[in-house]
Amino acid sequence: MATAAETRPATAATAATAATDVRRRRAVGLGVLLAVLVAAAAVSLAVGARALGPGEVWHGLFAAPGADQRLTEIRLIVQTVRVPRTMLAIVAGVALGVGGALIQGYTRNPIADTGLLGVNSGASFAVVLVIVLFGFASPFQYVWFAFLGAAAAGAVVFGLASIGRGAGNPLTLALAGQGIAVFLAAMTTAVALADQTALNALRFWNAGSVAGVGFDVIWPVTAFVAVGLVLAMTTLPTVNLLNLGDDVARGLGVNVALSRAVGVVAITLLAGAATAACGPIAFLGLMVAHIARYVTGPDHRWLVPYAGLLGAVVLLVCDIVGRVVVRPGELDAGVVVALLGAPFFAALVWRGKFRKA
């Protein structure tokens, strides 16, 4: 994306106008994405096993409980099925998008995804473990263990990568994450091979879905994601500096170790909460981070918000698609993200739209 300021020698004045232009365009883009998200959310409330008209959705959301049998039914569908589902898709989509953009920024690696710090395998391992140990059967019971597993894995990876003088070197972080992730994945497999109940839960868990979770899970998840987002926003200017190299960043006054720690906590909160509620949908973060980088360039102050909104839009749209394609059944959102998103992403890659992080 060559701006006017880059392509020809310009006076300071024209350069400043160009920069303002770019900023305005990016802000408009964010607004458009937000509008798309709102529209998708509206569609998401209406589409499903029982299709609802706009008026019915409105009633379902706002009408006072009455004696009318049909309206009560609609209220029930909208408020206990569609709204939680839509909300979780948005929250998890934002979390995975922002998490994906951040992990690529912090590790300076364009193939890093939100599973890199062991978050996904930590959550999976926790799930099979509590199923075997405590005999939990429903996702409501193991969501928090999944979150704990994800957080613990993230903490262990960061702790191990921060020992000694190499402190938090991005490559060490990424490789330590991979090491811990495969170790946990192996343990998960070992448990699942031995215990059929665990294997059964694991296969549904692995598909990745935003359905079937109530507000009792969604509110806490949203709270964790909100904390993660606040932390993420505070680090964005620093990520830009870190991408110039540790030495340069240090010279410009960045506390490298602290900012890495904050970043890892943010990524773990975001990815961990989203993964605990939906299962592993790691490809989403990788994909939207690249698309956002294509739109905004490498400035993380813009890249990360774009990635977040894109993540929400993509996850929500994929969930809607999953509800209608294999009626009367449903395709899990995680499966649709890969089936729809990956070919689209591959086409963009082939056309040379992306550059390295």
Partner 1 sequence: MNATNVKSSVPPGVRLGRLSFVWRPWLVAVTLFLAAATFLLFCLSIGVGDFPIGLPQVVATIFGRGERVDAFVIMDLRMPRALAGLVVGVALGVSGAITQSVARNPLASPDILGITGGASAVAVFLVTVSGGAAAAVVSAVGLSAAALAGGLGTGLLVYFLAWRRGIDGFRLILIGISVSAVMEAITAWLLVTADIRDVARAQAWLVGSLDGRSWHEVQVALWCSLALVAVVACAAFPFKPMRFGDEVAAGLGVRYTRVRAVLLLCAVLLAGVAVSAAGPVPFVALVAPQVAMRLARRPTPPLVASGLVGALLLIGADLVARAALPITLPVGVVTAAIGGPFLVYLLVRANLRGRRQG
For partner 1, the closer of residues 144 and 183 by Cβ is 183
Q: Are 15 and 5 in contact (CB under 8 A)?
A: yes
Which residues sit at the interface with partner 1, rule CB under 8 A?
109-112, 116, 160-161, 163-167, 169, 171-172, 174-176, 178-183, 185-187, 189-190, 192-194, 196, 199-200, 203-204, 206-208, 283, 286-287, 290, 331-332, 334-339, 341-343, 345-346, 349-350, 352, 354, 356
Number of residues assigned to the chain: 357
- The per-residue b/e assignment along 279-294, b for 16 or more CB within 10 angstroms, e otherwise, is bbbbbbbbbbbbbbbe
CB of 342 to partner 1, least distance (A): 4
CB of 46 to partner 1, least distance (A): 25
Phi then psi for residue 332, to 5 deg, are -65, 145
Show the tokens assigned to 209: 């879905």
For partner 1, the closer of residues 133 and 182 by Cβ is 182
CB of 290 to partner 1, least distance (A): 7
CB of 352 to partner 1, least distance (A): 7
For partner 1, the closer of residues 150 and 161 by Cβ is 161
Please report which helix (H) or strand (E) contains residue 247, including its range. helix 246-251
For partner 1, the closer of residues 201 and 231 by Cβ is 201
Distance of CA 216 to the CA centre of its chain: 20
> Does the CA dihedral 198-200-206-211 come out positive or negative?
negative
CB of 108 to partner 1, least distance (A): 11
For partner 1, the closer of residues 9 and 247 by Cβ is 247
For partner 1, the closer of residues 67 and 326 by Cβ is 326
CB of 115 to partner 1, least distance (A): 11
Q: Are 100 and 285 in contact (CB under 8 A)?
A: yes
E strands along the chain, which residues? none
For partner 1, the closer of residues 32 and 194 by Cβ is 194
Q: How far apart are CA 82 and CA 45, in angstroms?
A: 5
CB of 176 to partner 1, least distance (A): 5
CB of 304 to partner 1, least distance (A): 20
Show the tokens assigned to 232: 């993420």
Q: How far apart are CA 265 and CA 322, in angstroms?
A: 32
For partner 1, the closer of residues 302 and 345 by Cβ is 345
Q: Strand, coil or helix: what is 244? A: coil
Q: Which residues contact 269 (CB under 8 A, 6 or more apart)?
A: 151, 224, 225, 227, 228, 231
Phi then psi for residue 292, to 5 deg, are -65, -40
